[in-house]
Amino acid sequence: MTHILRIDSSLKGEDSISRRLTGRIVARLAGAHPDARVTERDLSRGVPQIDAGWIGAVYTAPEARSADQASIADYSDRLLAEVKAADVLVIGLPVYNFGVPATLKSWIDHLARKGETFRYTQAGPEGLLKGKRAIIALSSDGTKLGSGVDFASGYVKHMLGFFGITEVEFVAADQMIFDAEGTIRAAEDRIESLAA
């Protein structure tokens, strides 16, 4: 059974283009795999930033955690468990000020845990979440995917690779300010061509 994890981060709710695209991607994948399980995580509701308390919590043995540490670690562990359980990650990436939304950055920070998603070896870092696929639905008003001012897509792709997820594809509705309808249509066509 295929397990799909859908991550949305846009603040625009029903008006969000990245949400529209992640919805279509999930529908395409689920249509090809009728037994697929879909887990949804909406980051726009807020994701706590990591801090010293987080470090103390997640790197303390579970049996030695205080009540506060257990609560902090439990939230972070749930995010991590969702990613570990998924075969495919479908991530909505609206470009905000040339970068990733703060909540998406915080989600990634929660996942960046030595011994869980990566480890250091003599040969350098090794990602521990191998064998997964990620499809990123990028939307932007003016930023072109892969351009010199796109600080979002490269970062997300790098971090996924750092975690061992190297099969990463982009569906882009970028530079919509110039031709929103045509750009969205091209992105939707791209979704229809994705291997399911």
**Residues flagged as binding site:** 10, 16-18
Relative to beta strand 167-173, strand 133-139 is parallel
Structure-token pair, residue 32: 């090809």
Point out the annotated binding site for FMN.
Answer: 10, 16-18
Count of CB atoms within 10 A of residue 177's CB? 11
Which ranges of the chain would DSSP assign to H, the alpha helix? 17-32, 52-58, 67-85, 102-111, 153-162, 176-193
* Tally: H helices and E strands in the chain: 6, 7
